[in-house]
């Protein structure tokens, strides 16, 4: 090919120098399309679904839900007024003298 030769992008139809046309790949296989560098879809690793083993080997046999979730989130001692379990709380008002030597 000559450095002055032109080709057309198979995706957009725009004219490019042949040195700027690249092959399009999908799942590491060439599609046969020659596209301009600005129209190239990168064959990203996340899109190659079959290459990664997605089996979860850390599953639990016969799992049970946590039934104590509501109890663990409850605030049992935070209702001092009207709570019968907090009858032993007493408060006093007075003076305190602190001396340092």
* Whether the Cβ atoms of residue 7 and residue 21 lie closer than 8 Å to each other: yes
**Residue pLDDT, tens place only, 11-49:** 999 999 999 999 998 888 899 999 999 999 888 877 777
Which residue shows structure tokens 């599609």? 31
Q: What's the confidence (pLDDT) of residue 74?
A: 66
What is the full DSSP assignment across 51-63?
GS------PPSS-
**Residue pLDDT, tens place only, 42-94:** 888 777 777 777 777 777 778 877 777 777 776 655 555 666 665 565 678 88
Q: What are phi and psi of 66, to 5 degrees?
A: -80, 110
- Using alpha carbons only, what angle is made at residue 19 by residues 39 and 17, rounded to the nearest 5 degrees? 75
């Amino acid at each position: 090919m000559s450095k002055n030769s032109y080709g057309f992008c198979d995706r957009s139809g725009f004219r490019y120098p042949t040195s700027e046309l690249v092959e399009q790949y999908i799942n590491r296989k060439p599609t046969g399309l020659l596209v301009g560098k600005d129209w190239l879809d990168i064959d990203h690793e996340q899109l190659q679904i079959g290459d990664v083993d997605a089996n979860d080997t850390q599953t639990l046999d016969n799992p049970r839900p946590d039934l104590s979730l509501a109890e663990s989130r409850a605030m049992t001692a935070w209702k001092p007024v009207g709570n019968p379990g907090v009858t032993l709380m007493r408060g006093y008002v007075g003076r305190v003298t602190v001396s340092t030597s």
